[in-house]
Structure 1
Amino acid sequence: MKRRRAAVVAAMLGLASSVVAPTATAQQPGPAWGPCPADVKTETVALECATIPVPLNYSDPGGEQIELMVSRLASKNPAKRRGVLMLNPGGPGGSGLAFPDFLASRGMPTSVLDSYDVIGMDTRGIGHSSPVSCGFTPDQDYLGNIPPYAVDEAAVAEQAESAKRIAEQCAAHDDGRFRHLSTANMARDLDSVRAALGEEKTSYLGYSYGSALGSAYASMFPERSDRIVVDSNLADTHLDRDALRRYALGFEQTFPDFAKWVAARHDVYGLGRTPEEVRETYFRTAERLDAAPVNGVDGRVFRLATFAGLYAEVSYGSTAQTWQSVQGEGEAPQPAAAPAPDTDNLWSVFLGVTCNDVDWPSDVGTYQRAVAEDRERYPMYGAASANIFPCAFWGDPAEPPVAIDDQGPANVLVLQNRRDPVTPHRNAEILDEKFGDRSRLVSVEGSGHGVYLLGDNACAFNTTTDFLVGGQLPEENTDCR
C-alpha cells in the first residue's frame, strides 16, 4: 500500500530590501549554453542548458556558491524578441528544465515564442540545481504535500508522531543547505539569473506554487519585473496553513464536475446515476475502506486518489476505475499501479521551502480542533487538509515571508479556474486584492488545476497571450465563460 500511495501522491503535483541580487553589467560573461542532461526529456523542441552560480546565502554574497541549471528555448525571430520569459511549473519541488518544451507542445503561440527566450529552471535544491535530500525511501508511509485524512483525534496524534519523525529525518540529513531553501531565496535566484542573462527586466509565467514565486519576485523586485502571469494561485508568496486548509474547499467545489461526469456514465462504472448518488458512493466507500482496506487501498489513499483525480478531466476515467476496484468482489479489476517514483528530492524541497517560508503552529491540539471543525465544514476532505504537517516540528523560519507589494507597476495577470481542487478561486481573489491596482484577475468558468495552455478557454488564452506579447492588462477584472 505504501508504494501505491507514493504513486498516487506523485500523480497530484521576506526581507527583500535587505538582500538584493546583482544587476546586469557589461562585464558579466553570459552563460555557456550547451546540450541539456540526458534526463531532460523533450518531445517538441530542442532545448539548450547552462549553469549559473548564485550565493547559497544572499546575506553573504561572497561566500559559498551553488549552481543553478537553466534551460532555454531561444526566440527564432530577433526582430520581435523583447526579452526573457522565465517559467515555473509548481511544487515547490518540480523540475522545470523541460517545461519550455512542455508548453510548446501544448501550443504556446508563435507570437510568444518569437517575443521571448523561454527560460526553464531547476530552482535551488531541485534536480540539477544543488539537490537536497531528506533520505526518503519509496516504502515510507508518509510522503506528500498534504497530510492523510484523520478519522478522529487519535489519528491526528498518530500523524503528529509521523510528522515529527519526518522533520527529524530531514534535519539529520541537512548538510547546511536546507535553511536556505525559501521562496525569498528562489526569487533572488530569479533575479540573479536575469542578471546573468544580461537582461534589465524579466517576464514570468508560473503555475500553482509558481504563482507564489512569481508574486514574490514582483514584490521584491518590482522595477525589474516586466510581465508577470500567475496561474492557479496560492493567495500569497507562500503556502501557509490557511491555504492548505483551503484544499478542502477546492475539493468540495470541484467534485460536482467529476460526479456529474461519472453519473452520466453509470452504465459503464456503476457508481451512481446522479451526482448526489456518486457523492454518497464516495462517503460510503471511504468509510468502508477506513475499516477494511481493499487491494491495498485504505480510506486515506482512496480520498487522496480522488483528490488527485480532480486536477483535470483527463483523469476522471482512471479515477472512476480506482473507485470500481475497491467496490467489492465481482467488480472491475484494479488498474495496475504505476511504479513508485523517486520522491525523495521532490518532497525534500517541498518541505524545506514550505516549512522555511512561514511559521506553523506546533501544538497538536490546534490541529485536532481544526480537523474537527473542517470535517464538519468540508466533509469530503477537510479532515485531511487541516491535519498536522512536518512543518509543525521544523523550527523557526530564517526570515519573515515576502510581503505582497501593491506599489509597483501594474503588470500582474492573475489566472484562475472557478473550480480548482487545490487552489480554489478564493485564493486568486485574495491575491488580486493584495496586489491592488497592480493586478487584474481573469476568472475562468472551468474546472481543474491550470488555465493558460492547460485548459481550453479561448478567452483566457487570448487575454494571456495579448498581455505577454502586447503588454496591456485588461482594463478591469474579467470573467471568461
Structure 2
Amino acid sequence: MQRRRQRRPRRRTPRTGGIASLTVVLGLGGSLLAVPALAGGAQASRVEWKTCPEDVVAEAAPTRLRCGTVSVPVDYADPGGERIDLMISRLASTNPDKRRGVLMLNPGGPGGSGLAQAALLVSRGLPSSVTDSYDIIGMDTRGLGRSAPVRCGIPADSPYIGNIPPYAVDDAAVTARAKVVKEVAERCARNDRDGRLRHITTANTARDLDRIRAALGEEKTSYLGYSYGTALGAAYASMFPERSDRIVLDSNIGDTHLDRDGLRRYALGMEQAFPAFAKWAAARHASYGLGRTPEQVRQTYLTLAGRLDRTPAAGFDGGLFRQFTFAYLYKASQYPKLAQQWQALDSGAGSAPAANPTASSAPSPADNALSVFLAVTCNDVRWPRDVDTYRRGVAQDRERYPLFGAATANITPCAFWPYAPAEPPVTISDEGPRNVLLVQNLRDPATPHQGGRLLREKFKDRSRLLGVDDSGHGAYVLGDDSCALNTTTRYLVEGAMPAKDTVCRAG
C-alpha cells in the first residue's frame, strides 16, 4: 500500500488572545515533521461490534445498528502518544452478493452526531440498493459525543447560544459581541485541561476516517457528507485519493474548512432561499396575512425585525427573529410553523422557542456540540483578530445582504482563539480518480449554490456538479427531487458519474 505523507508543524505553545435549530446550525513557525497517513505504518485492529448505547438504539429504532470503537492518536505528529477511542456504528448489508464496500457518513456541523444517521436516512427513504451495496458507517467524530468529548463549559444562560452570530444593528453591537465571544474563547482555553482541543481539526478527522477504513479491513471507502460534512469529505478525497472510492458531497460549503468568507456566504444563501418562502406565504395571504406578494412578505420581515430591534416582544428581539427565520428556511415543511410565528409576532402575541429548564449555572446541553464547532472552525484556519475588521464587514453585508448579512459577518470566538493553526488547511487536490459527485440545491439558506461551484472549480475533472432546482438544506434523500435521488443513487450503486455538470429541473 502506498504511503502518503502530510507535512505539518510541531506543536506550538498556545497563545492566549488579548438553538437545537438555532445551534445550526472556521505566521506558522518551527520545523516541519513528516506525518504518514497511517502514522508509523501501524496496523489497525479490527472493530469489535456490540450493541449500541441505549439512546442510540432508541434514536435509530426500528433500524438496528451495531456499534464499536476505533483507537486513534490524539496528535498524529506523535503517533506513539496519547490515544482516544472513536465510536462508530454500522448498518450492515444483508446482501453479500451485492455488497461492494463501506459508505461512511457525516451529517455536518461540525458537531453533529452521526451514530444514528444511517437510520435517519433509511427512515427518509434511502434506497435498498444502497443499503445492499454498502455497510453504512456512522460515527461521532473526535471530540464529540462518545468519542472523547471536549467541553468549553459554556453555561446554559450564556448569550453565546449558537454558531451563527446574532444580527448586529450597529457598530456598538459588534463591540458588545466581541466581549461575549472573547469570554467564550477564554473559557475554552481554561477548560482544555488535557490539551486535546487544539487537535480537533478537519485534517485530523480525515486522518481518523482513514484509520476507521483500515480497522474495517477495507482498501477504500465511499463517503456521503452533508453541509460541513462536504468539507471533511473534500479533505479526505484530497489527502487520500487512492483510498477514496465513491464520494458524494451534498450542500457544499466550498472548501475543506469554514472560514470567515464561508460564514458570510450564509447571508447570500438566505437571500437566495427566502423568495421560496415569500412566494409560499403570499399564496396563503388569506390565512397568514403576511403579504399579498413576495415583495410584501419580504417587507413584512424587514418591518418585524426592525420593530423587534427597537422593542423586543414575546421573548424575541430582532436578532433571534432573524435566526429563527433563517433556521426555518432549511425545509419547506417548516414554512407553516414559520408563518404562524410571524403572524403571532405581527399581532403582538407569540412566544420564543422554549428556554432550557437547566439551571443557569450548569453547562448548556449544547456545550459539547458548540465546543466541537469552535475547535474545528477556529483550529482549521486563522481568523482576523481585529474587531474593526468585523465592524467593516457588518456594515458592508448589512447593505449587501439586508436579510441576514449583519449576523454572519459579526465577530466569533475564532477572533480570540487561544491556539494558532497547527498546520495549513487541507488543499483540495485535483489529482486522483474522477469520483467526487457534488450535489447542491440552487437555493440553500446555509450553503448556497456558489459552494458547489467553488468545489467544482477546485476538484476540476475529478468532480461533477449536480444542481437541484429546489430550496432547502440537503438534497439527496433529505429533499424531494426524484432526479437528484436517482442520479446520486445510480452513482453510489453503479458508479455512473454524470458525463457533465447538470441541473435537475423542477418538474
**TM, length-normalised to structure 1:** 0.95
Tell me whether 1:148 sits opposite 2:166 in the alignment: yes
The offset of 1:7, in angstroms, is 4.9
Alignment partner, residue 57 of structure 1: 75
Which residue among 151, 165, 168 is the counterpart of 1:133?
151
Alignment partner, residue 320 of structure 2: 301
The offset of 1:325, in angstroms, is 2.4
Contact 2:39 2:76 in 1 (8 A): no
Alignment partner, residue 404 of structure 2: 381
The offset of 1:23, in angstroms, is 9.9
Could you report, residue by residue, the CA deviation over 1:82-111 in whole angstroms, capped at 9, with x for unpaired residues? Answer: 110000000100110000111111111111
Which residue among 392, 413, 420 is the counterpart of 1:369?
392
Could you report, residue by residue, the CA deviation over 1:2-34 in whole angstroms, capped at 9, with x for unpaired residues? Answer: xxxx45514x43999734126999x75421101
Contact 2:279 2:293 in 1 (8 A): yes
Tell me whether 1:290 sits opposite 2:322 in the alignment: no
CA–CA distance in 1 between the matches of 2:347 and 2:39? Answer: 61
SS in 1 for 2:55: coil
Contact 1:16 1:184 in 2 (8 A): no
Tell me whether 1:164 sits opposite 2:182 in the alignment: yes
Tell me whether 1:35 sits opposite 2:59 in the alignment: no
Gaps of 5+ in 2: 1-18, 358-363
Alignment partner, residue 216 of structure 2: 197
The offset of 1:460, in angstroms, is 1.0
Alignment partner, residue 3 of structure 1: none
Contact 2:315 2:352 in 1 (8 A): no
Which residue among 437, 447, 452 is the counterpart of 2:461?
437
CA–CA distance in 2 between the matches of 1:480 and 1:165? Answer: 46
CA–CA distance in 2 between the matches of 1:436 and 1:404? Answer: 10
Gaps of 5+ in 1: 1-5
The offset of 1:478, in angstroms, is 1.0
Q: Quick one: which amino acid aligns to residue 212 of structure 1?
A: A
Contact 1:313 1:448 in 2 (8 A): yes
CA–CA distance in 2 between the matches of 1:323 and 1:88? Answer: 33
Q: Quick one: which amino acid aligns to residue 276 of structure 1?
A: E
The offset of 1:161, in angstroms, is 1.0
SS in 2 for 1:18: strand
Rate the CA distance shift 1:335–1:59 in 2: closer, same or farther, 3 A. Answer: closer
Q: Quick one: which amino acid aligns to residue 448 of structure 1?
A: G
CA–CA distance in 1 between the matches of 2:267 and 2:200? Answer: 27
Instruction: After TM superposition, list the pairs within 5 Å mapping 1:109-258 onto structure 2.
Output: 109-175=127-193, 176-258=195-277
Aligned length: 472
The offset of 1:355, in angstroms, is 0.2
Contact 1:367 1:386 in 2 (8 A): yes
The offset of 1:328, in angstroms, is 3.4
Alignment partner, residue 21 of structure 1: 38
Rate the CA distance shift 1:211–1:168 in 2: closer, same or farther, 3 A. Answer: same
Contact 1:90 1:206 in 2 (8 A): yes
The offset of 1:338, in angstroms, is 6.9
CA–CA distance in 1 between the matches of 2:62 and 2:487? Answer: 25
Rate the CA distance shift 1:334–1:321 in 2: closer, same or farther, 3 A. Answer: farther
Q: Quick one: which amino acid aligns to residue 453 of structure 2?
A: E
The offset of 1:314, in angstroms, is 1.0
Q: Quick one: which amino acid aligns to residue 259 of structure 1?
A: A
Which residue among 289, 304, 307 is the counterpart of 1:270?
289
Could you report, residue by residue, the CA deviation over 1:274-312 in whole angstroms, capped at 9, with x for unpaired residues? Answer: 111111111111011001100110000000000001101
Rate the CA distance shift 1:430–1:449 in 2: closer, same or farther, 3 A. Answer: same
Tell me whether 1:408 sits opposite 2:426 in the alignment: no
SS in 2 for 1:52: strand
Contact 1:289 1:299 in 2 (8 A): yes
CA–CA distance in 1 between the matches of 2:343 and 2:155? Answer: 29
Alignment partner, residue 259 of structure 1: 278
Contact 1:236 1:404 in 2 (8 A): yes
Instruction: After TM superposition, list the pairs within 5 Å mapping 1:303-452 onto structure 2.
Output: 303-329=322-348, 333-334=350-351, 337=354, 339=356, 342-394=365-417, 395-452=419-476
SS in 2 for 1:409: coil
Could you report, residue by residue, the CA deviation over 1:53-86 in whole angstroms, capped at 9, with x for unpaired residues? Answer: 1000011111100000000000001111111000
CA–CA distance in 2 between the matches of 1:243 and 1:182? Answer: 17
Structural RMSD (CA): 1.8
Tell me whether 1:9 sits opposite 2:22 in the alignment: yes
Percent of aligned pairs sharing the same letter: 62
